[in-house]
Amino acid sequence: MIKKQLATLMFSTALILPAATSYAVESSANVALTSNYVFRGQTLSNDNMALQGGYDIAQSKDSGWYAGAFLSMFDSGPGAEDGIETDIFGGWKGSFGAQSKFNWDAGLAIYEYQGADNVEGQFEIYGGISYETAYIKLYIGDDDNFSNGDYTYFDFGASFVVLKDIDLDLHLGHTSRDFGKNYNDASATLSKQVNGYDIALSLTYEDQGDEMEFFVTVGKSFDL
């Protein structure tokens, strides 16, 4: 099953890489191996390892349009089929003035799950503002896994340099559903680049299941 997932992941990543364009854009690809795929405080790999990959293209680093895709192995848990998650997203970002440190970002994201008949997709629109390394973002989504699957997700966060070349990312999130229990999640991640690889140590907590997760991620990015 693992070999089949890896082959599907690599094939899907190759399919989403667009052909070279005649105009100047910034694009990059990335690949990562994580000891636990955690999303908004909850494991999506049943506390197992997951191989992930992505592709991003943007008009520029700081403003204009952007789009991308993210793929990951996922596991819904005992008695459920596992497979590949595919996320497609796109949006527009900019600042509130030429010299302003306040920025804005808005877009949409689609989450699909291949290989698991018991897991449905999600659709979100989002918007947020940031000041230097601090941000607040609101997601409004529709989850097909619920008969009335409308939900909102508030995402708050900030990044700090704690030691030389070591970053600390702090996050707090709140999920509110029209159908189902609301819950909060929080995380802290220390990251550093070592010999061209991105190393991250993450600790997360969510109060719906009163669960804490610790996981390690090793990744590498490529400018295209």
- Coarse DSSP helix, strand, coil percentages of the chain, rounded to the nearest 5 percent: 5, 65, 30
Q: Is 177 within 8 Å of 199 (Cβ atoms)? A: no
Give the Cα-Cα-Cα angle 110, 114, 116 (nearest 5 degrees): 115
What are the tens digits of pLDDT across the range 83-115? Answer: 899 999 999 999 998 788 999 999 999 999 888
Q: Is 204 within 8 Å of 41 (Cβ atoms)? A: yes
Res 79: pLDDT = 63
Alpha helices in the chain (DSSP H): 2-16
Task: In whole angstroms, give the CA distance from residue 126 to residue 128.
Answer: 7
Predicted model pTM: 0.85
Res 21: pLDDT = 45
The list of the chain residues with pLDDT below 70 reads: 1-23, 79-81, 116-118, 146-148
Res 10: pLDDT = 46
Residues 6+ apart with CB under 8 A from 166: 190, 191, 192
Res 18: pLDDT = 47
Give the strand pairing for 166-177 and 102-114. unpaired
Res 82: pLDDT = 81
CATH 2.40.160.40 fits 2-223, yes or no: yes
Res 157: pLDDT = 98
H/E element holding 53? strand 50-58
Res 181: pLDDT = 81
Task: In whole angstroms, give the CA distance from residue 163 to residue 195.
Answer: 17
Task: In whole angstroms, give the CA distance from residue 128 to residue 84.
Answer: 28
> Domain locations in the chain?
2-223
Using alpha carbons, list the distances in angstroms from residue 23 to 18, 28, 35, 134. Answer: 13, 15, 38, 32
Q: Provide the total of helices (H) and of strands (E) in the chain, helices listed first.
A: 1, 14
